[in-house]
Structure 1
């Protein structure tokens, strides 16, 4: 087994003559008290839940390794050795895939590594439970990125319901539409760091959009609550408060917003993968 420590890499590594390749960070930690889905599936770590012959972490890692836009992958977890042991040797021996130890705070762990030799800019953040991630989804996200300091992948409700009318998601409702997160975040440069620090303060409210916008003042909160502002404008105003450019990237693929947070999600994802790979 290769060691989990990440060696320093020269600043010129992982980039083309025109554009630097992205560093992909896979968030694979879990709560200190354990994860309900890990318990449900009788595994020690949620990231190692098997679905149709592969663990969720393996699926996400393979998808990211297949992207020509990504130069390296860093798996962040409290127990990286255990996750590394749960992957096949062909992945753990791949020089582009490395592991790093995280703290219990997601945003703090990201903040500590982004922009360093371990995770140079630009950075794409996703999660190990994003088991339906495909090359098409990754490509669509990158195609929608045109230099935003911070970009968040989302799926509009009609896209989801037209494909999966019974899927239950958390929706952020704005003028012109409702959106569910796709667990894809672009952090393009050092200007994104204040957004990561902000996320650390509001992480517990991540499922309640109105609480997040409340941090940017009563006027933006009121407009979000009354749905008199679109999602793009709301993110732009929030980003302006942090002196950065922030936008959503609306993805046309319903599966981008389906992760594994509860048993019904696991059942849905399993069915989709069995049909896709069967």
Structure 2
């Protein structure tokens, strides 16, 4: 399968990322972990998984220069992640993997496992990790969780747009971005019945994702990560310390 991927590494004008500021670089993607920039770690994992075409959605000149040195295609970013993904699928087509430049722990095996576990009929799939797996892999890790009947889940910054129909989901993605940490607001769009099921703890993650897909006119699936570390990215300086330690231990 001719698989492409886009790594989101855009930056908002004037925004200061605390991790980049702490490390004295222009962008978080440039922060070095175990001797290499985060962006290089992510690109290496995608290549290990057999991804043929890798693009970076970036506007920072230093990130663009790094991407070129890594033989990655450069795409212009939009104002938000969903619009940047819309540009990527228009340029690269489907199937398309989507991840982020701060997903420094990403492993090729996680990508291949994710692809293997996606239902064959899905147009769109998202990888999430259950809280117990995350805490078993990294005790004390503090993440944002979405609570459903089948557990508390955290996103893994890994998505698969399997078919051209997946473009329909991007418009819905735009509306979900603002409420990504308040799932009850997302569920409210499905009607009173679904909202009540969520509030009383009867709605599962799979049901919620499938209903989101129906709203957008696509078949959507949630995939459970096999490794809890898949949910660990570098949002904070403390994350950087943990990730650096884990990557060093792998080596």
Q: TM-score, normalised by structure 1?
A: 0.84
Q: Considering only aligned residues, what root-mean-square deviation do their CA atoms show, in Å?
A: 1.6
What's the secondary structure of 2:217's corresponding residue? coil
1:120 and 2:102 are equivalent in the alignment: no
Which residue is equivalent to 1:6? none
Deviations 1:217-266 (A, max 9, x none): 33222222322011111111221222211111101111100000011111
Which residue is equivalent to 1:230? 204
Q: Note if contact 1:154-1:251 (Cα within 8 Å) is conserved in structure 2.
A: yes
Q: Note if contact 2:148-2:203 (Cα within 8 Å) is conserved in structure 1.
A: yes
Which residue is equivalent to 2:184? 210
Q: Note if contact 1:147-1:188 (Cα within 8 Å) is conserved in structure 2.
A: no
- Among candidates 117, 120, 127, match of residue 144 of structure 1: 117
Which residue is equivalent to 2:83? 108
Q: TM-score, normalised by structure 2?
A: 0.93
Deviations 1:155-190 (A, max 9, x none): 111111122220111111111211111100111112
Instruction: For residue 87 of structure 1, report the CA deviation from its aligned partner.
Output: 5.2
- State the aligned residue count: 249
Instruction: For residue 72 of structure 1, report the CA deviation from its aligned partner.
Output: 0.5
What's the secondary structure of 1:124's corresponding residue? strand
What's the secondary structure of 1:109's corresponding residue? helix
Change (3 A) 1:123 1:54: same
Q: Map 1:1-278 to 2 at 5 A.
A: 20-34=1-15, 35-68=17-50, 70-79=51-60, 81-86=61-66, 89=69, 91-92=70-71, 97-114=72-89, 116=90, 118-145=91-118, 146-277=120-251
What's the secondary structure of 2:158's corresponding residue? strand
Query: Which ranges in structure 1 are unaligned for 5 or more consecutive residues?
Result: 1-19
Structure with a larger share of its residues in helix: 2
